[in-house]
Amino acid sequence: MKNKLIKTGAVLLYIIFVTLSFIFGYNPGKQIGLNFASFTMEMIKLLPFVFILIGLFDVWVKKEFIEKHLGKNSNPLSYLWAILLAGPIAGGLIAAFPVAYSLFQKGAKMSVIFTFISAAAVCRIPMTLFEASFLGIKFTLVRLLVSLPLVIISSILVGNFLEKKDYKIMKG
């Protein structure tokens, strides 16, 4: 009850702050409100399609396939598969987390799931092309060549640690 009251109070304070910013012409507060509205509209446009694709992934990709290629007995190529799966993700981590949960439910090992999430944050194709156009191909290639091995190594370390602790994700 106390936690809900705190959340409600924070939302009300935000609404009051943005409203007063527009009334009194406080530009940083106005910009915060406009940014929030813009972000909300982007999410409203994007999320329905993302969740449809996630639902299709959940239905079309069989558990046996995930267990074979990304599961506990999979080979080291499973990390490459996770990176390739994360590359075309639209919507960034907002879409990656539900897919990661689906992978977990279908038997993918933790280290592969962490590789997928990290790759979705680090090397999505649209983001990489955008980066290359502004910072150059050489910079982008160096960043990918440095970050991808670190993603895989840290994912293996964290995944193995959590599997030894018999960590389980709670069902929603």
30: pLDDT strictly greater than 90: yes
* 102 within a domain of the structure (yes/no): yes
For residues 66 and 44, state if they share a domain.
Answer: no
104-123 pLDDT per residue, tens: 888 899 999 999 999 998 88
* 140 within a domain of the structure (yes/no): yes
* 31 within a domain of the structure (yes/no): yes
- Domain boundaries, position 16: 1-48
For residues 29 and 75, state if they share a domain.
Answer: no
For residues 42 and 69, state if they share a domain.
Answer: no
Query: 99, 57 in Cβ contact below 8 A?
Result: yes
Confidence of residue 61 (pLDDT cuts 50, 70, 90): confident
For residues 38 and 110, state if they share a domain.
Answer: no
Tokens of 139: 């910079």
For residues 38 and 70, state if they share a domain.
Answer: no
53: pLDDT strictly greater than 90: no
Query: 112, 70 in Cβ contact below 8 A?
Result: yes
Query: 132, 156 in Cβ contact below 8 A?
Result: no
- Give the predicted TM-score (pTM) of the model: 0.74
Distance between alpha carbon 90 and the CA centroid of its chain, in Å? 10
For residues 72 and 125, state if they share a domain.
Answer: yes
Tokens of 16: 């009051």
Tokens of 138: 């050489």
Mean pLDDT taken over the chain:
88
